[in-house]
């Protein structure tokens, strides 16, 4: 299996402070990674590197076999699908859901013409259907609920048939039903052998979909643990990562975590 992402000794320094420090990490083709860590740990910074939008201060990065700095990022970016709150803000609120997904095929956020190939339209509809958005094709993006917006964005990220799919906190802001619906859909995607390699950022173990295979835990810019979920996602690692005693539980293929009662801390 070849690597879709390889970071060697990567640091990002801003104003004399390391946002991520000496990170070495590789993601092989077909793997589904969770990046887990507290607020400000450096998760989005890692995702911005993986999407080729951020160059490290030191260290080397290879994305889909191309070395960052030695490749035209405009050729690389269509091969990477990304869904994040920052990207969502750039999408025009007046565009329909279908247009929002279709524009991704042309590497744009807004429509510049109304004619798209039928084949693109069929693809966009198929992805929206997979995300449970068939009923919303003509709805304006700005009128969607948070959950509907997230699902539209994931369909959009799939539109270029990416080899690497990056999801930054896809379940943030969703209610319990919305979260469970999204986690189930992501689980289905993760188990699809034809789906791209995936990296998903989250703060919560409850949001880890079934089918995700690996976890990277980060705290204050440094990697605490990285490897298969089965071995690395432990109460000990989670406690170190979030800085308080936590008990991790597994029920079937899903996870929960809670702090120890005060009397035991």
Ligand X SMILES: Nc1ncnc2c1ncn2[C@@H]1O[C@H](COP(=O)(O)OP(=O)(O)OP(=O)(O)O)[C@@H](O)[C@H]1O
The answer to the question of residue 219 lying near ligand X (CB under 6 A) is no
Query: Of the two residues 104 and 221, which places its CB atom closer to ligand X in the complex?
Result: 221
Determine the distance from the C-alpha atom of residue 213 to the mean position of all C-alpha atoms in its chain, rounded to a whole number: 14
Tokens of 161: 């048939």
Residue 132, judged by CB atoms within 10 A of its CB (0-12, 13-18, 19+), counts as middle
Work out how close the CB of 106 gets to ligand X at its nearest, in angstroms, rounded to a whole number. Answer: 29
Task: Count CB atoms within 10 A of the CB of residue 93.
Answer: 12
Work out how close the CB of 177 gets to ligand X at its nearest, in angstroms, rounded to a whole number. Answer: 23
The answer to the question of residue 45 lying near ligand X (CB under 6 A) is yes
Binding segment for ligand X (CB under 6 A), chosen from 13-21, 91-99, 141-149, 247-255, is 13-21
The count of residues in the chain is 265
Among 32, 36, 42, 61, binds ligand X (CB under 6 A): 42
Binding segment for ligand X (CB under 6 A), chosen from 3-11, 12-20, 59-67, 209-217, is 12-20
Q: What is the largest CA-CA distance in the chain?
A: 65
Q: How far apart are CA 8 and CA 26, in angstroms?
A: 8
Q: How far apart are CA 152 and CA 248, in angstroms?
A: 32
DSSP string, 163-179: SEEEEESTTTT--HHHH
Determine the distance from the C-alpha atom of residue 23 to the mean position of all C-alpha atoms in its chain, rounded to a whole number: 18
Among 5, 7, 10, 19, binds ligand X (CB under 6 A): 19
Query: Of the two residues 41 and 104, which places its CB atom closer to ligand X in the complex?
Result: 41
The answer to the question of residue 41 lying near ligand X (CB under 6 A) is yes
Among 40, 142, 228, 259, binds ligand X (CB under 6 A): 40
DSSP code of 209?
Answer: -
Under a CB-based contact definition with an 8 Å cutoff, are residues 216 and 43 in contact?
no
Write the interaction track for ligand X spanning residues 77-106; mark x where CB under 6 A is met and - where it is not.
Answer: ------------------------------
Binding segment for ligand X (CB under 6 A), chosen from 37-45, 66-74, 87-95, 187-195, is 37-45
Using CB under 6 A as the binding criterion, the count of chain residues that bind ligand X stands at 12
Tokens of 66: 């191309």
Interface with ligand X in residues 177-216 (CB under 6 A) = 203
The answer to the question of residue 39 lying near ligand X (CB under 6 A) is yes
């Amino acid at each position: 299996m070849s690597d879709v992402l390889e970071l060697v000794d990567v640091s990002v320094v801003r104003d004399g402070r390391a946002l991520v420090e000496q990170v070495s990490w590789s993601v092989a083709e077909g793997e589904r990674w969770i990046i887990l860590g507290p607020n400000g740990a450096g998760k989005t910074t890692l995702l911005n590197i993986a999407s080729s939008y951020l160059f490290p201060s030191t260290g080397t990065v290879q994305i889909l076999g191309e070395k960052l700095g030695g490749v035209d990022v405009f050729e690389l970016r269509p091969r990477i699908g990304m869904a994040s709150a920052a990207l969502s803000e750039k999408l025009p609120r007046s565009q329909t859901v279908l247009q929002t997904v279709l524009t991704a095929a042309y590497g744009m956020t807004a429509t510049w013409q109304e004619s798209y190939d039928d084949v693109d339209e069929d693809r966009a509809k198929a992805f929206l259907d997979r995300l449970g958005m068939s009923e919303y094709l003509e709805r304006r993006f700005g009128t969607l609920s948070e959950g509907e917006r997230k699902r539209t964005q994931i369909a959009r990220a799939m539109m270029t048939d990416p080899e690497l799919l990056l999801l930054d906190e896809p379940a943030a802001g969703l209610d319990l039903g919305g979260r469970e619906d999204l986690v189930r859909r992501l689980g289905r995607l993760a188990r699809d052998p034809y789906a791209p390699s995936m990296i998903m950022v989250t703060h919560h173990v409850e949001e880890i979909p079934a089918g995700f295979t690996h976890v990277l835990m980060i705290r204050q810019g440094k990697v605490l643990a990285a490897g298969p979920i089965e071995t690395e996602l432990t109460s000990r690692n989670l406690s170190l990562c979030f800085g308080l005693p936590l008990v991790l539980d597994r029920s079937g293929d899903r996870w929960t975590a809670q702090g120890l009662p005060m009397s035991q801390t």
